[in-house]
Amino acid sequence: MILVDTNVIVALADRSDTDHERCLRWLEEQTDVLALPVTVLAEACYLIDRFGGPTAEARFLDSMGSEPHRRFRVLDLTDGDLRRMSELVRQYADRRIGGTDASLVAVAERLGVTTIATVNRRDFDNVRPRHLPAFTIVPT
């Protein structure tokens, strides 16, 4: 399983995004399960609507629909995830990772996920998860 950050979702939804082609090529090559915490879904909806409008947001939500067309699995947060997110936001206050990135770390720790898809490496290069020395970051 690979957890997907908001910036990858937004790049995929916006053809004018500088990372669109790179993220699209990466997505087309994937055989792993791609998942995102519900926090990423909410943040992506907000940003896609803000920059692309309601039609783009609806297309994104369609892509989150039922099998066999679903590309991403949405993951709920647990109470433990929320506690860990709070710890992470405090621990990395100087880096301002925020709740959404903290949710990716917390869910990755809970599920043993080692790979995060993001185009903003600095957010995750500096985070030290509990279950491994560092995340593998894709796409490269």
| Structural domains of the chain in order of their starting residue, each with its CATH number | 2-138 (3.40.50.1010)
Q: Are 68 and 104 in contact (CB under 8 A)?
A: no
User: Is this prediction's pTM over 0.85?
Assistant: yes
Q: For the beta carbon of residue 9, count every other beta carbon within 10 angstroms.
A: 25
79 is in an annotated binding site: no
pLDDT in tens, 68-116: 656 889 999 999 999 999 999 999 999 889 999 999 999 999 999 999 9
123 is in an annotated binding site: no
Sign of CA dihedral 92, 97, 102, 105: negative
Going by C-beta distance under 8 Å and a sequence separation of 6 or more, which residues neighbour residue 54? none
